[in-house]
Structure 1
């Protein structure tokens, strides 16, 4: 059954509480003011984790706190009700998770005559919430997101987000199915965004990569595994990590502070992109497991033979987990 954050076994804790809501709670509400007015939110409070879910942005994850401390980076745009696929930078709110896809990530791309916006359309799509549950095991939410067009691709992603009690972890699982009449190759990237105080000067990153490839001269100018001091300006840096096959673990640790671990399987997410900015107002570390080892968009993935089509009716499962731990 696991343990409570106090260290006591849950079967000892449960008889000592008046309501399960002392340990696990799910709250659904609608914001009433500001740029996010009329947007749905689901808040999961499980042990030491407080997790904000965004149904109107594909059931992505917004603000997250671990033991009362913020761990997700939030951009200056905030998290408005809908993102814009044509102007990603004006509506990219960050949050712990922005999903990129389902048919493109990286820069805007023209592929076989079809235009795809930067990082795809996923975060512009509203999810249909199918289930919200909370019990002595923790909390979970299930939803569906559909990306479709007339006479074109028709993909459905069934998402389940779990926050188990006693584990201080968040697990995201997507099952992407081709509901159309022709093969379609999905492209999916999990844009996980970590911020202060976990990310600060001296924060270390371990990925287990066999090779780390900087995207450009700006990335070659810095050590990828050590977060630098803030500077104005600080160029955006992107690194592609080449991982061995099998289960992968990426560790983030601030000296003397708590840490985070990202887990996924390279069988379905063989790419790992690292995004980093160390500028005042934008101190962020992005850890981005991806369905193909490229960050140059769909046309590049096709040219390099990295796309994996789904036949009509075929499904593919992707999963990422983020766990937090005290020093």
Structure 2
């Protein structure tokens, strides 16, 4: 299929435009007001796709809009700096949601103490600032690249090299990560991609199509909703969060699709050889918490690093070793 921009082949579109920035651009800016004042933003416009990137939160993704419609859930906190603490407070006071919040690089899920070291809720990644190394519009795609490091003196030194791209004329966002162990000793990474979808895509009757062979509830609250895990409920005044674990076919490239009864849909593609676990997080609470989280991960526990070690799920990454991860998010035609 020939790539198109506004109904014209890409090469023809480039000849017709006075400047490519009329239709496709990547722009960097600095926030001057609000809870994230002083932080950097990168905006990618690709035809009717509009994406915000957060360099000061590890090149995570904030809002994604297509033809003006928002697809990501963002919380009322905005995206202020995260100060990791021993409990949930630092995270919950600054979890802006967005299309992608990366959790890791050494722990995700519940806070825990592993081999004497405390790990905060969902790890430290979102508190790390990226070094942006490339922002470019090429003939065929828009590319943003950067490096994020989780490092301590005499300790761990993990480097994540991230590449975010979107082919010209598409509604696809691709995140490709290389986690490199730059330290002198083996390290056991834990990474989860916290993808957050919101209204109007997510509402009563929205359906989650999962390739799971089995779905398990995390706790009693999730068990109460297990019979309808695939169909989003009607929002209510109070709706405790529910988390489900999906058992995926291994060593396959699979699609997870979230489809609204209004016609919009989002496809999330993952390689289960690299991300063999999947969690689903949902809250159907009016006044700001109508959200469906799709969370591919490297290990099948959401209970923190200590639980992963106790269950023998951690895998060492040798000095110089590379762990390749990534996820695709695409707004489907017709949205």
**What is the TM-score with the length of structure 2 in the denominator?**
0.95
Query: What is residue 159 of structure 1 aligned with on the other side?
Result: 162
User: Structure 2 residue aligned with 1:261, among 259, 262, 267?
Assistant: 267
- Conserved 8 A contact 2:5-2:13: no
Give how far 1:12 is off: 2.8
Cα distance, 1:5 vs structure 2: 4.9
How many Å apart are 1:107 and its aligned residue? 0.5
Cα distance in structure 2, aligned partners of 1:71 and 1:286: 12
Is the aligned partner of 1:252 residue 2:265? no
- Which one is further off, 116-125 or 301-310? 301-310
Is structure 2 residue 321 aligned with structure 1 residue 302? no
Is the counterpart of residue 138 in structure 1 residue 141 in structure 2? Answer: yes
Contact 1:155 1:179 in 2 (8 A): yes
Provide the secondary structure at the position in 1 that maps to 2:8: coil
Q: Is the 8 A contact 1:20 1:136 kept in 2?
A: no
Asked if 1:233 corresponds to 2:238, the answer is: yes
> Is the Cα–Cα contact under 8 Å of residues 248 and 266 in structure 1 kept in the other structure?
yes
Which segments of 5 or more consecutive residues in structure 1 lack a partner in the other structure? none
Q: Of 257, 260, 282, which aligns to 1:276?
A: 282
Tell me which residue corresponds to 2:323. 316
User: Which residues in structure 2 correspond to 1:51-200 (within 5 Å)?
Assistant: 51-80=51-80, 82-86=81-85, 87-200=90-203
Measured after TM superposition, the shift of residue 9 of structure 1 is: 2.0
1:2–1:166 CA contact under 8 A, matched in 2:
no
Moved over 6 A (4+): none
Query: How many residues get paired?
Result: 326
Q: 1:220 is matched with which residue?
A: 223
CA distance in 1, matches of 2:23, 2:249: 38
The residue aligned with 1:201 is: 204
1:1-37 CA distance string (max 9 Å, x none): 8433533322332222111112210110101111111
2:21 alignment partner in structure 1? 21
SS at the partner of 2:93? helix
TM-score (norm 1): 0.97
SS of equivalent to 2:306: helix
The whole-number CA distance in structure 1 between the counterparts of 2:54 and 2:13 is: 31
Q: CA RMSD, aligned part only? A: 1.1
